[in-house]
Structure formats: structure tokens, C-alpha cells
């Protein structure tokens, strides 16, 4: 049986790190594609030459031609501009929409059975572009944001309590960005809700730090944005899909009535398996959580509307 194949569009920081993690975890052969001549070829060759030392047999190749990505099982879209200091995700909207539309069209034509994992920001809006450009069914177009957001929250919870990150679990809903909704009562250490382990004020500080997690790293790096944790998050989604693990992970999913939302990508817990999203997991929200969730979906809707206006204008 041929090995699974993952195409990674964009050989920049996030894309190259995804390629490395996917290959080195022996999850799939990887095709790295970028618009810049030589960049994906060079990084792919470098990654391939690490294989004998790391000890895996995955093929890693680089290309500028979508024909070389044909038959992929998963296409990870990281192409676009990264946020610079002081630049909001929204500033990236129109530029990245054009890039994502173009690469998704070409990737979908070459890999009609693939599942898309979208990473490019602004995330929720780019998922809409990808759904439309691919013509794929909604369970095959998934946005990566919640896994990263919850990983950040877990990191801060573990640091605060002095416990292993592996003992933590964090629940994050809503759009990717300043309006994301971390849910402390479903966030736990050793199975105990953190609301029983920390003062409310301290939890609020960790929630705020999580919301600003991307900006905190942008401010430190000064050029470019986070990529190690984003790439690890994508790789967990790839693993759950390719190995049909059905992990419940927070992802941007196209809602069709769930959570009272229709026709919008929003971050919710989903079951991820070989067919893509096999279930959206719904939970009851308390009034304050519902209000925060509604604010978050409103801001996603504003972005999508802004994009439609740009496309029309
Ligand atoms: N969803 C998330 O949680 C999350 C996390 C981190 C980064 N991101 C986003 O991911 C994207 C990539 O970030 P990065 O740090 O890797 O940026 P980067 O600048 O390092 O890499 C982007 C790459 O895309 C390539 N590219 C541009 N146009 C292209 C096209 N038409 N076809 C193919 N490749 C093209 C560029 O040449 C570049 O190599 C950004 O939009 C960033 O904001 C999202």
C-alpha cells in the first residue's frame, strides 16, 4: 500500500516545521510547495538529508508545481504573509485571501480526495475562502487554531500550578484571535477544573495571556510570528486524520446549525478521523460563555462580510 502523502503549501516557518514534524513522526511522505523558486526544494532536500540520522524513511520533496502534489491525502495551507509587529490579523485579510484562493484551487484540482487543514491568517476567514475555492464538502475543510490556543492555555496552567503539561486539559471555543473563548470550567489539571485550583483573578490573567498568545510572540520575535507550537498543532491534527484516531480537538469547523450558528467557520470541539470532521461536539454554554461565544462569532462574521465586500468592490 502506498504511504499517505501530505502536501504543505508554503515553505516558510510554519510550513517547513510542519514538513519536519510530519516526516520525522513517520506519518506520511511530504511534498513542500512554495511560490519562491528553490525554497521548497532546498528545505525539502535538507529535511531529506536529516532522515538517515533521525531514522525515518519518509520521502520529503520540494516543488513549485502543483502537479507534483497530486493524490495527496491532506493539504496543509500555510502560504501567505505572516503578521508583523503592530499589524492586526485583519490587515492581512485581502492579501492572504487571494493567495489562499489560488493555492486551494490548484491543490484541490490535483488532489480531489484530500482533506484541507488551513493555517493562514486571518484563520476563520481563510477557511471560508478555502471552502469556496475547493468546492469540497465542509467536513473536509478544517482550520487550525484551537489546538494551538488550548496548548497555550495548557502551558500557562501547567506553569502556574507547577504540574506536568500532560496532566492539563484546556477547552477553547470561538474564533481565532482576540475574541477566542477559553472555558475555565472545562479546563482541568489532573481532571480537576482549574476554577477549583486557582483564584478567579489569576485565571482571568491566564485567559488574557492566552488570547494574546500570538501577539506576545510577535512582539518578542519582532520579525515573523510563532511556528513551533503552530506546527506541532497541525501535526496532531494530521495524526488524528491519517490514523483515524477520532481525537476530539478544538478546530475551526463550518457550522450548520450547531451552537445556533449557520454557515460560519468557528472554533468548536470536533472529532477528527479519516473522513475529516466526523462530528461536532456540542456542549451547553452558561450565559456569560454564550455571550462571549456570540461576540466571537460576530467578529468572524464581520471579517467574512468585509471579505465579500472587497471581492464585490
Ligand atoms: N492558525 C494559526 O494559529 C496560525 C499560527 C501561526 C501562523 N499562522 C499563519 O500562517 C501563515 C504562515 O506563517 P509563516 O510564519 O510560515 O510565514 P512565512 O512568511 O515564514 O511563510 C509563508 C510562505 O508562504 C509562501 N507563499 C506566499 N504566497 C504563496 C503562494 N501563492 N503559493 C505558495 N506559497 C506562497 C511564501 O513564499 C513563504 O515562504 C501566516 O498567515 C500566519 O499568520 C497561523
Lowest mean pLDDT among 132-136, 187-191, 291-295: 291-295
> Nearest C-alpha to atom 3 of ligand 1 is from which residue?
145
Q: Does ligand 1 come within 6 angstroms of the Cβ of 10?
A: yes
Predicted pLDDT of residue 88: 67
pTM: 0.97
Q: Does ligand 1 come within 6 angstroms of the Cβ of 121?
A: yes
Share of the chain above pLDDT 90, in %: 85
Give, in order, the Cα–Cα distances in Å from 122 to each of 83, 92, 153, 156. Answer: 9, 7, 20, 24
Predicted pLDDT of residue 51: 98
Predicted pLDDT of residue 313: 66
Predicted pLDDT of residue 50: 98
| Residue from 8, 10, 32 whose mutation best tests the ligand 1 pocket (most atoms within 8 A of CB) | 10
Predicted pLDDT of residue 310: 75
Query: Residue 188 and residue 174: Cα distance in Å, rounded?
Result: 19
Cβ-in-10-Å burial (0-12, 13-18, 19+) of 278 comes to middle
With 80 as the cut, is the pLDDT of residue 125 above it?
A: yes
pLDDT tens, residue by residue, 241-293 = 999 999 999 999 999 999 999 999 999 999 999 999 999 999 999 999 999 99
CA of 244 relative to ligand 1 center, distance in Å: 27
Q: Are 148 and 121 in contact (CB under 8 A)?
A: no
| Residue from 14, 31, 95 whose mutation best tests the ligand 1 pocket (most atoms within 8 A of CB) | 14
pLDDT tens, residue by residue, 164-177 = 999 999 999 998 87
Stretch (H or E) spanning 266: strand 262-273
CA of 233, closest atom in ligand 1: 3
CA of 16 relative to ligand 1 center, distance in Å: 10
Q: Does ligand 1 come within 6 angstroms of the Cβ of 271?
A: no
CA of 198 relative to ligand 1 center, distance in Å: 37
CA-nearest of 10, 245, 293, 30 to 146 is 293
Q: Is residue 294 helix, strand or coil? A: helix
User: Which three cell numbers, joined as nine digits, stand for 108?
Assistant: 484541490
Q: Does ligand 1 come within 6 angstroms of the Cβ of 12?
A: yes
Catalytic positions are 176
Peptide bond into 122 cis (omega under 30): yes
Mean pLDDT, the chain, as a whole number? 94
Amino acid at each position: 500500500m502506498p504511504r499517505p502523502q501530505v502536501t504543505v503549501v508554503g515553505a516558510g516557518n510554519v510550513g517547513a516545521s510542519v514538513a519536519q514534524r510530519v516526516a520525522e513522526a513517520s506519518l506520511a511522505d511530504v511534498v513542500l510547495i512554495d511560490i519562491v523558486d528553490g525554497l521548497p526544494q532546498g528545505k525539502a532536500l535538507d529535511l531529506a538529508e536529516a532522515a538517515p540520522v533521525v531514522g525515518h524513511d519518509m520521502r520529503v520533496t520540494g516543488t513549485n508545481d502543483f502537479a507534483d502534489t497530486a493524490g495527496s491525502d491532506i493539504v496543509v495551507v500555510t502560504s501567505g504573509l505572516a503578521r508583523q509587529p503592530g499589524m492586526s490579523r485583519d490587515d492581512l485579510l485581502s492579501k492572504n485571501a487571494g493567495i489562499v484562493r489560488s493555492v486551494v484551487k490548484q491543490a484541490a484540482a490535483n488532489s480531489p480526495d484530500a482533506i484541507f487543514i488551513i493555517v493562514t491568517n486571518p484563520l476563520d476567514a481563510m477557511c471560508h475562502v478555502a471552502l469556496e475555492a475547493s468546492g469540497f464538502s465542509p467536513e473536509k475543510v478544517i482550520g487550525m487554531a484551537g489546538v494551538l490556543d488550548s496548548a497555550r492555555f495548557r502551558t500557562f496552567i501547567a506553569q502556574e500550578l507547577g504540574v506536568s503539561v500532560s496532566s492539563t486539559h484546556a477547552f477553547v471555543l470561538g474564533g481565532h484571535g482576540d475574541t477566542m473563548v477559553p472555558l475555565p470550567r472545562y479546563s482541568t489539571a489532573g481532571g480537576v477544573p482549574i476554577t477549583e485550583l486557582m483564584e478567579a483573578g489569576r485565571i482571568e490573567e491566564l485567559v488574557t495571556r492566552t488570547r494574546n498568545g500570538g501577539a506576545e510572540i510577535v512582539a518578542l520575535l519582532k520579525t515573523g510570528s510563532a511556528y513551533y507550537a503552530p506546527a506541532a498543532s497541525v501535526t496532531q491534527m494530521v495524526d488524528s486524520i491519517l490514523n483515524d484516531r477520532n481525537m476530539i480537538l478544538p478546530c475551526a469547523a463550518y457550522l450548520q446549525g450547531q451552537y445556533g450558528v449557520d454557515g460560519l467557520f468557528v472554533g468548536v470541539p470536533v472529532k477528527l478521523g479519516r473522513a475529516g470532521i466526523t462530528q461536532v461536539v456540542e456542549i451547553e454554554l452558561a450565559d456569560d460563555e454564550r455571550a462571549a461565544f456570540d461576540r466571537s462569532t460576530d467578529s468572524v462574521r464581520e471579517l467574512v462580510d468585509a471579505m465579500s465586500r472587497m471581492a464585490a468592490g
